[in-house]
Structure 1
Amino acid sequence: MPGPLPDGEPVPADGSLPAPALREAGRHGFGVYVHVPFCASRCGYCDFNTYTASELGGGASRDEYADTVLRELELAGGILRARVDTVFVGGGTPTLLDPADLGRILEGIDRIWGLAADAEITTEANPESVTPASLQALRKAGYNRISLGMQSASPGVLAILDRRHTAGRAPRAAEEAREAGFDHVNLDLIYGTPGETADDFAASLDAVIGAGVDHVSAYSLIVEDGTRIAARMRRGELPYPEDDVAADRYLAAERALSAAGFSWYEVSNWATSEEARCRHNRLYWTGGDWWGLGPGAHSHVGGVRWWNVKHPSAYAKRLADGVSPGLGREVLTGEDRRIEEVMLRLRLAEGLPLGLAREDGARRALADGLLEPIPYGRGRAVLTLRGRLLADAVIRDLV
């Protein structure tokens, strides 16, 4: 089940932001994240803020959800004016909503804030939740990028993860998205699932490469407390993931994707060109601003971060009462922002300016072969391949 939200100071009832944050807003780009909290079933590894019909209870309706989001958007438009460079609709499973509702949300964003002419507009989707017709409707509504949750090409691994689609459905959905006219298509992989073999993962890599997508994300399985897979591990039904296996899988991904013409641009993300890189995620990683719409959604504007109430029913009630759905917020200090910049920018292929990092930690990482020597000499910290495997430890050293 979803984990708890952080503590923080109360958000004003009208959702207003401090004047310094408003003056800084959009200086490094502005995006909109829309959270859709509905899923047909809960995957065994998932602790996201999502709900199946049985978990949802009363007071929240999928059919009325777009109207609720539009009410939050109207409130947000009275607080902040900014041109929107990127939109990302995530979940949950956004494509459980009617394409017309996803289109209305996009129209509302354009009406309230205005979409840049070249805006990147992404929706996530589960492979079984889209059809050629729905993909064509989404493309017509203005969505130009789609991210499909493939996770694995192995039926056995999909079963352990409690995924509902068949092994071949994700690559076919990617082909259907390209045929519908999407400019960019991503497939997500998860590696290190208990029971996954090296051959299973090699087959998954072959499948994503063969699907003709221009972007691949690959993440090591994280076992979160409260999930079904964590309970199965505690009972001894499944082994715990091993760090060495995860490292082997990552190296296999780097070899296969590089050979197929993909380049890494963030530790867990590869693209075939600069244009194919996810601009919305880069906005997060490079200090941009975004407004998060939906229950549990997080936002950041000008050094102020806040988060909405989690449950869809509580979210809908607040907006029906004309009150901000924001539950708590924090104003980041200069040091907070420096640390976050190191944590996020170091994961990028271009790295970060050495002036943001602790000198002793950077020298130690360089000596250990975790940073590239030539960018280091030019004043930047850039991870080596070995450094990518140990990115969290390098980050700790640098902050």
Structure 2
Amino acid sequence: MPSALPDGEPMPADGALPPTALAGDRPLGFYVHVPYCATRCGYCDFNTYTASEVRGASRDTYADTLIEEVRLARKVLGDDPRPVETVFVGGGTPTLLPAADLGRMLAAIRSEFGLAPDAEVTTEANPESVDPAYLTELRAAGFNRISFGMQSARQHVLKILDRTHTPGRPEACVAEAHAAGFDHVNLDLIYGTPGETDDDWRASLDAALSAAPDHVSAYALIVEEGTQLARRIRRGEVPMTDDDVHADRYLIAEEALSAAGFSWYEVSNWATTEAARCRHNELYWTGADWWGAGPGAHSHVGGVRWWNVKHPAAYGEALAGGRSPGAGRELLTDEDRRVERILLELRLSDGCPLTLLHPAGKAAADRAVRDGLLDPAPYEAGRAVLTLRGRLLADAVVRDLVD
């Protein structure tokens, strides 16, 4: 089952935020969660539900329910003048909903808040859940970026992941999205699946690059407790991939993507140009504000983080009763925010400012430069930026720097 929500203080019934959270001029984004999937992938621990798991919550009325939360967001944020700069519809499989429903949710955000003239509007999509007509309808509704879950080009790897699309379909989707007028197209890849070889991974990268997206995300497979894949590994049905294999696959990805004209801008993300970067994810990584709408969605505004109830039925009941669907929240301290900035900004190609580091962290950063984990040139200019070797050990570097 999906992972549990964090602990926190109760959320006010009306969703009200402290006045201090509403001050400032940070960029504002919207995340929209669509929790439905045709089947549950064996590695996934996201807050998703198949048809048999959503008793009491109809897909047919989901857009209307979510629009109620958009209206609640407008009430909570009051006369905040900021237009929405990015919208990201994720899941789940958002494209299991009719394109018209995704368009209506976007229209509600536009109506309540306004969209910036250059707003980035993204949806995730399963390759088997869209066709040219669907993509054309999405583009007409205002979506200008799309992210397809490719994962692998090898059938036996997809089978281990319980992915239902056929090899070759994601590449065809990229062409269809371009034909529909999408400005930016991403392919998501996963490396380190049990049974995957280096050659399998190279084949997946080659297939992705042949499709000519302008953005590629490549993530190491994380085996989460409670998932079907974790149970299969525990029973000895499939092997566990070790960290050395993950490191080798990352280096293969960096070599292939760099040769194809992509540059890394976050440890797991590469883009052909600065315009092709995912601006919505950059909001997360740089501590901006976003409202997360939908069951289990997380939000952050002005140092307040909160999360919604997880089940679609409970989510709908709260909104129908005029209550916030928030399950809990936390007020971040200055120290919390300092640590989070280091955790997230260090993963970016711009790195994090050394002024965020305490003396122990600065001493650790000095050692990291000597050990080849931080780039000495930006370090001299006051920023900690990971080298390629540092990217392989990013979690360990961060742990030292937050002291």
Range into which the TM-score falls when normalised by the shorter chain: over 0.9
The 2-side partners of 1:28 and 1:112 are apart by 18
Counterpart AA for 1:323: R
The 2-side partners of 1:15 and 1:255 are apart by 47
Partner of 1:180: 180
The 2-side partners of 1:225 and 1:66 are apart by 31
Partner of 1:374: 377
Query: SS in structure 2 opposite 1:63?
Result: helix
Partner of 2:73: 76
Q: 1:361 aligns with which of 356, 364, 372?
A: 364
Report the alpha carbon displacement of residue 75 of structure 1 after superposing the two structures with TM.
1.0
Query: Deviation digits for residues 288-336 of structure 1, max 9, x if unmatched?
Result: 0000000000000000000000000000000000000001000000000
Which stretches of structure 1, 4 residues or more, deviate above 4 A after TM superposition?
Answer: none
Q: 1:393 aligns with which of 389, 393, 396?
A: 396
Query: SS in structure 1 opposite 2:76?
Result: coil
The 1-side partners of 2:40 and 2:370 are apart by 45
Partner of 1:225: 225
TM-score under structure 1 length normalisation: 0.99
The 2-side partners of 1:74 and 1:353 are apart by 37
The 2-side partners of 1:107 and 1:208 are apart by 32
Counterpart AA for 1:36: V
Which structure 2 residues correspond to residues 22-41 of structure 1 after superposition, within 5 A? 22-24=22-24, 27-41=25-39
The 2-side partners of 1:55 and 1:248 are apart by 38
Which structure 2 residues correspond to residues 293-304 of structure 1 after superposition, within 5 A? 293-304=293-304
Q: CA RMSD in A?
A: 0.6
Query: SS in structure 2 opposite 1:106?
Result: helix
Partner of 1:53: 51
Which structure 2 residues correspond to residues 1-399 of structure 1 after superposition, within 5 A? 1-24=1-24, 27-57=25-55, 59-80=56-77, 81=80, 82-357=82-357, 358-399=361-402
Counterpart AA for 1:142: G
Report the alpha carbon displacement of residue 109 of structure 1 after superposing the two structures with TM.
0.1
The 2-side partners of 1:233 and 1:104 are apart by 42
Query: Deviation digits for residues 158-212 of structure 1, max 9, x if unmatched?
Result: 0000000001111111111111100000000000000001110000000111001
The 2-side partners of 1:326 and 1:45 are apart by 27
Counterpart AA for 2:52: S
Query: SS in structure 2 opposite 1:219?
Result: strand
Report the alpha carbon displacement of residue 69 of structure 1 after superposing the two structures with TM.
0.3
Report the alpha carbon displacement of residue 131 of structure 1 after superposing the two structures with TM.
0.4
The 2-side partners of 1:284 and 1:211 are apart by 28
The 1-side partners of 2:242 and 2:401 are apart by 26
TM-score under structure 2 length normalisation: 0.98
Report the alpha carbon displacement of residue 398 of structure 1 after superposing the two structures with TM.
0.4
Query: Deviation digits for residues 334-367 of structure 1, max 9, x if unmatched?
Result: 0000000000000000101111122111111111
Query: Deviation digits for residues 74-95 of structure 1, max 9, x if unmatched?
Result: 1110111331000000000000
Counterpart AA for 2:160: I
Counterpart AA for 2:371: D
Alignment length, in residue pairs?
A: 396
Query: SS in structure 2 opposite 1:66?
Result: helix
The 2-side partners of 1:93 and 1:303 are apart by 30
The 2-side partners of 1:32 and 1:19 are apart by 20
Query: SS in structure 2 opposite 1:322?
Result: coil
The 1-side partners of 2:61 and 2:283 are apart by 30
